[in-house]
Amino acid sequence: MRIAFLLYDDFTALDAVGPYEVLSRIPGAEVVFTAARRGPVRTDMSLAVTADAELGEVDSADVLLVPGGPGTLAQLSDGPVLEWLRAVDATTTWTTSVCSGSLVLGAAGLLAGRRATSHWACLEELAKFGAEPTGTERIVTDGKYATAAGVSAGIDLALSLTGRLAGDPVAEAIQLLIEYDPQPPYSAGSTATAPAELVARMRANGLAIS
Amino acid sequence: MRIAFLLYDDFTALDAVGPYEVLSRIPGAEVVFTAARRGPVRTDMSLAVTADAELGEVDSADVLLVPGGPGTLAQLSDGPVLEWLRAVDATTTWTTSVCSGSLVLGAAGLLAGRRATSHWACLEELAKFGAEPTGTERIVTDGKYATAAGVSAGIDLALSLTGRLAGDPVAEAIQLLIEYDPQPPYSAGSTATAPAELVARMRANGLAIS
């Protein structure tokens, strides 16, 4: 089973590394981080992770995952990345995204007429690509397309996919291995539970922290 | 504020990237990934992340974080890494670990007489270093030492630290930004909630998934 991740400059590290930590542990899975060029790819906050393959070296995948981040904006114009996504998508069992990665799938034309989600701050932009923005679920599945909400939602997506790909016992074993028993010390993780003034402030100031 | 991560071969990516995704967003924070040598460091499952500094280039930090993973075993003998940890620890406000990273702090002599936690499968090994293994809390704090349970617990640790370092509103803004509203599709994330036979099987077979 080949699981291909698309990397690009200024993606958000956890969008990819959360799902990777789960999916790479499926027995028999081969994960490949793919980018326009091999080598280190800088994420949005400074960390660099390595792409071990160029786009041209990966022409099929069982699972395709596109992370999000500020760098998605530069990926929305047609070109080699969107062509690659369309070509690999034609071979997948699951095509997936985390956070604003769904905008890239949308720009490739893969979400037209489908329900999908994204980071809360760019959810409505999905409509530009003919998708139906769906903000009430953390993971939205429509056919073989599974899109997750912002950043940390990729861990939940990956556990859910693991259950479908390899069975519930494998997903549970991986959850136990990574001790995924989350206990957030605050309850501000969604626009529904965060203080309303915080949501409004972040929407107004381009997601600045303070 | 300087936040230093120690990297070494065969660490677990999410142990570091989870906390990084939170801590790097604290206004004014500078995160530095540090290893014996600059350049790509391979994690336990294939992904490589880049160390941007050598140990000798980082002689102090406000926060020090040691991730865990199978590679911890090779870090437990005294040498440059443990010397570096002791030297930087002398400068920190918080010295922290995720997963089996606490064994490395223990080997450096930093947890003697302190309550601490680790990945559930190696919790008892903390006693070898004079620490008091504490398996009932996801984050254990004793003085300036904060140790987290396995892998994904680093996200909770980092949000908690962020609140202490920068205030609750900053921690809540970061939680909202990374949409950390976890909804695990299974309840197997701790030894207390996972099926007992799964815990027993993984303990018996060296944590193999199946």
**Confidence check: pLDDT of A120 > 90:** yes
Q: Does residue B155 fall inside a structural domain?
A: yes
Indicate yes or no: CB of A155 within 8 angstroms of CB of B182. yes
How much is the pTM?
A: 0.97
**Per-residue pLDDT at A50 exceeds 90:** yes
Q: Are B165 and B96 in contact (CB under 8 A)?
A: no
The reported pLDDT for the residue numbered A78 is 86
Confidence bin at A59 (pLDDT 50/70/90)? very high
Are B155 and A152 in contact (CB < 8 Å)?
yes
Q: Is the residue at B37 inside a domain? A: yes
Nearest residue on chain A to B171, judged by CA atoms?
A: A186
Query: Mean of the pLDDT values across residues A160-174?
Result: 98
Q: Measure CB to CB from residue A20 to each of B47, B169, B179 and give the nearest one.
A: B47
> Which tens digit of pLDDT belongs to each residue from B119-136?
999 999 999 999 999 999
In a domain, A209, yes or no: no
| pLDDT number for residue A89 | 98
CB atoms near residue A163 (< 10 Å): 18
Predicted pLDDT of residue A204 = 95
B199 lies in some domain: no
Among B183, B187, B198, B205, the residue to mutate for chain A (most A Cβ within 10 A):
B183
A122 is an active site residue: no
B178 touches chain A (CB under 8 A): yes
Q: Which domain holds residue B46?
A: 2-185
Please compute the mean of the pLDDT values over residues B39-56 and round it to a whole number.
Answer: 96
Q: Give the 3-state secondary structure of residue A41.
A: strand
Catalytic residue among A3, A35, A99, A171: A99
Chain A interface includes B197 (CB < 8 A): no
User: In whole numbers, what is the pLDDT of chain B averaged over residues?
Assistant: 97
**What pLDDT, on a 0 to 100 scale, did the predictor assign at position B210?**
84
The closest CB to that of A151, out of B21, B171, B198, belongs to B21
The distance from CA B89 to its chain's CA centroid, rounded to whole angstroms, is 15
Is B87 within a domain?
A: yes
CATH (domain of A178): 3.40.50.880
DSSP string, chain B: -EEEEE--TTB-HHHHHHHHHHHTTSTT-EEEEEESSSEEEEBTTS-EEEE-EEGGG----SEEEE--SGGGGGG-SSSHHHHHHHHHHTT-SEEEEETTHHHHHHHTT-STT-EE---GGGGGGGGGGT-EE--S-SEEEETTEEEE-STTHHHHHHHHHHHHHH-HHHHHHHHHHTT-----SSS-SSTTTS-HHHHHHHHHTTT---
| Beta-sheet strand order (sheet of B48-51) | A39-42, A48-51, B48-51, B39-42
Residue B161: inside a domain: yes
Instruction: Classify residue A177: in a domain, yes or no.
Output: yes
Residues near A27 by beta carbon (within 8 Å), at least 6 away in sequence: A166, A170, B209, B210
- How confident is the model over B52-97, as pLDDT tens digits? 999 999 999 999 999 999 999 999 998 999 999 999 999 999 999 9
pLDDT in tens, B20-34: 999 999 999 999 999
Flag whether pLDDT at A3 surpasses 90.
Answer: yes
**Do the domain assignments include residue B49?**
yes
Q: What is the mean pLDDT of chain A?
A: 97
Q: How many domains does one find in chain B?
A: 1
Average pLDDT over residues B101-116: 98
| B73 close contact with A: CB closer than 8 A | no
